[in-house]
């Protein structure tokens, strides 16, 4: 067909190397069908024209599928070409930041296989609506959900996780405060939003009088709601209770409550909002 020979042939090379804006696809589709019907209205459904000749179609090119095929054609090329080849240095650099192309091709999106579900670059495991990739975890061999269970079939506690994979830092070290932002010139000062003292991880979650007051309210509320007296240490409030003589159901409830409490503190601080105990309770009960 003239459309394929004289029209699409001029676009294939560019489309295989560059990102094609969504609007271009619709423009190509409209112009192609106008050419086919000599600028008159379509005489048959477009979906039928994409079919083979044996099925009554004309094998009209589906531009969406064509663009996807051009992109997919890069996969075997990248797998064949060595890392020393400069022509693929940019895409391979990007893939390495996500674990590498071979790893990405092996990601499992079947949520029915919970034990083998790949953690990273997974559309079903999202943080702030986006898939995640933790390079430090990847280097330690943490790839699937199965790597987060202990021998008894329960989720690893913080201490079990740290000991099993030899992590020297805790999760709080991934949190950015104004201390770091001020150091790199991103913020004009390093003052904690609630009290004006110097911001830091320790101050945000432990030392600030407003944080301590909010934490105590949460602990008192937890004891009252569950009719259970629990007196966690500072470490247990931050990282959760692991081995304990407390009831296992109470421990799970407390760890979830403490985790959500830390999230509320950090989220309120980022948005310069007051730490509201009532909002915390209402959101926690909804969850």
| Overall average pLDDT of the 128-136 stretch | 75
- CA 266, chain centre distance (Å): 19
- Checking if the pLDDT of 194 tops 70, the result is yes
Ranges 15-19, 49-53, 199-203: which has the least confidence: 49-53
Interatomic CA distance for residues 83 and 264, integer angstroms: 45
Which residues are CB-neighbours of 124 under 8 A, at least 6 positions away? 109, 111, 117
CA 97 – CA 108 distance, rounded (Å) = 18
Predicted pLDDT of residue 7: 58
pTM, entire model: 0.43
Residue 195 has pLDDT above 60, yes or no: yes
Backbone torsions φ then ψ of 144, nearest 5 degrees: -125, 170
Measured CA to CA, the distance from residue 253 to residue 251 in angstroms comes to 5
Q: Which of 27-41, 69-83, 163-177, 247-261 shows the lowest per-residue confidence on average (mean pLDDT)?
A: 163-177
Please tell me the predicted confidence (pLDDT) of residue 93: 75
User: pLDDT digits over 209-241, tens only?
Assistant: 999 999 999 999 999 999 988 888 888 888 878
Question: Which sign, positive or negative, has the C-alpha torsion 132, 142, 161, 154?
Answer: positive
């Amino acid at each position: 067909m003239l459309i394929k020979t004289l029209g699409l042939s001029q676009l294939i090379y560019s489309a295989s190397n560059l990102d094609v804006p969504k609007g271009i696809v619709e423009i190509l589709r409209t112009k192609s069908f106008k050419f086919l019907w000599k600028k008159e209205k379509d005489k048959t459904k477009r979906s039928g024209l994409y079919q083979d000749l044996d099925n009554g179609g004309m094998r009209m090119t589906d531009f969406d599928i064509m663009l996807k095929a051009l992109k997919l054609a890069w996969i075997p090329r990248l797998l064949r070409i060595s890392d020393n080849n400069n022509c693929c240095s940019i895409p391979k650099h990007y893939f390495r930041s996500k674990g590498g192309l071979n790893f990405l091709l092996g990601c499992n999106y079947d949520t029915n296989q919970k034990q083998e579900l790949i953690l990273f670059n997974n559309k079903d495991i999202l943080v702030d609506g986006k898939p995640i990739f933790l390079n430090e975890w990847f280097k330690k061999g943490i790839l699937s959900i199965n790597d987060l269970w202990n021998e008894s079939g329960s989720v690893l506690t913080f201490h079990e996780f740290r000991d099993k994979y030899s992590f020297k830092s805790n999760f709080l070290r991934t949190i950015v405060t104004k201390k770091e932002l001020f150091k790199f010139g991103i913020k004009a000062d390093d003052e904690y939003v609630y009290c004006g003292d110097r911001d830091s991880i320790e101050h945000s979650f432990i030392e600030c009088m407003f944080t301590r007051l909010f934490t105590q309210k949460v602990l008192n509320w937890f004891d009252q709601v569950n009719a259970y007296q629990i007196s966690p240490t500072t470490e247990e409030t931050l990282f959760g209770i692991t081995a304990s003589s407390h009831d296992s159901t109470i421990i799970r409830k407390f760890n979830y409550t403490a985790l959500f409490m830390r999230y509320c503190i950090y989220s309120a601080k980022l948005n310069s909002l007051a730490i509201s105990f009532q909002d915390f309770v209402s959101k926690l009960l909804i969850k």
